Amino acid sequence: MARRALITGATSGIGNSFARRLAADNHDLVIVARSADRLEQVAAELRAKHRVEVDVVVADLSTSEGMDRVAERLTDTARPVDLLVNNAGASLAGWFGTTDIADEDAQLDLLVRAPMHLMDAAVKSMSGRGGGAVINVASVAAFTPRGVYSAHKAWLVNLSRWADIHYDDVNIAVQALCPGFVRTEFHQRGDMDVSGVPRWMWLKADYVAKASLDDLRKDKAVSIPSLRYKLLATLARYMPSSLVARIAKRGR
């Protein structure tokens, strides 16, 4: 496992759960988000509780400037990063074709270009010094026809699975983490109606982070936390696509 981890979107939700769990396991951290105040608050709490080093990087990963800033930190040989957690994300409330295309471009940058750029920087750095690991936070939506968001996540799953195989010979593990509905700020920030999602479909962020790290230790290229979502992902591969699309539309 890593000695220093860089986590994007680390001030809340799954990213914050990764930060707290890794700090508890005595890993130094680099935490990334857009809000300097929230980053400093999280960093101070982790330093005080776990006595680990926590660096902060303020960056908007939907911009080239933000991507470059974090990529530069990933290639710092003086303070190397051994685990990258590509977690930062958001979604739009409307379906493609009804949304502003500029907003869709920003989502593409955040959910596809940013993890690609950061993964590129991490792989190039890690391959030259004995290996490391990358966790790309995707979604179980990757296995369903669910608009642009699921398409972005399917892209990330595909790249992660290939990279895990391709870079095995230089000791780099790559995992696509595919949770279902998780109780975080994600849906609230996107102004999404999730009133139709039954209680049994919700997972806790701490559970998701733990499952991912456990699966990373087992060299699993795709991590789907909970038996219920493993079953749903399997069914999505064999059920008629029109039926899967109707089911997947719930909670939007």
Q: Which of 28, 119, 36 is nearest to 70 (CA)?
A: 119
Give the count of domains, the chain.
Answer: 1
Q: Two tokens at 108?
A: 């593409």
CATH number of the domain within which 22 lies: 3.40.50.720
Check if the beta carbon of residue 113 is closer than 8 Å to that of residue 66.
Answer: no
Containing structural domain, residue 209: 4-248
pTM (2 d.p.) = 0.89
Say what the pLDDT of residue 196 is. Answer: 59
Say what the pLDDT of residue 211 is. Answer: 97
Alpha carbons 48 and 124: distance in angstroms, whole number = 33
DSSP state of 95: P
Alpha carbons 58 and 70: distance in angstroms, whole number = 9
SS3 call for 29: strand
Alpha carbons 139 and 1: distance in angstroms, whole number = 23
SS3 call for 78: coil
Residue with tokens 């690609």: 116
Say what the pLDDT of residue 65 is. Answer: 97
Return contacts of 194-198, CB within 8 angstroms, 24+ apart: 194/251, 196/250, 196/251, 197/250, 197/251
Residue with tokens 């660096």: 55
Say what the pLDDT of residue 145 is. Answer: 80
The DSSP line for 168-232 is GGGTEEEEEE---EESSSHHHHTT---TTS-GGGEE-HHHHHHHHHHHHHTT-SEE--SHHHHHH
Helix 147-166 with 101-108: angle, nearest 10 deg? 20
- For the chain, 252 residues long, the average pLDDT of each consecutive 10-residue run is 88 96 97 96 97 97 97 95 95 86 95 98 94 96 87 96 97 96 62 59 91 97 94 78 60 46
Question: What is the set of active-site residues?
Answer: 149
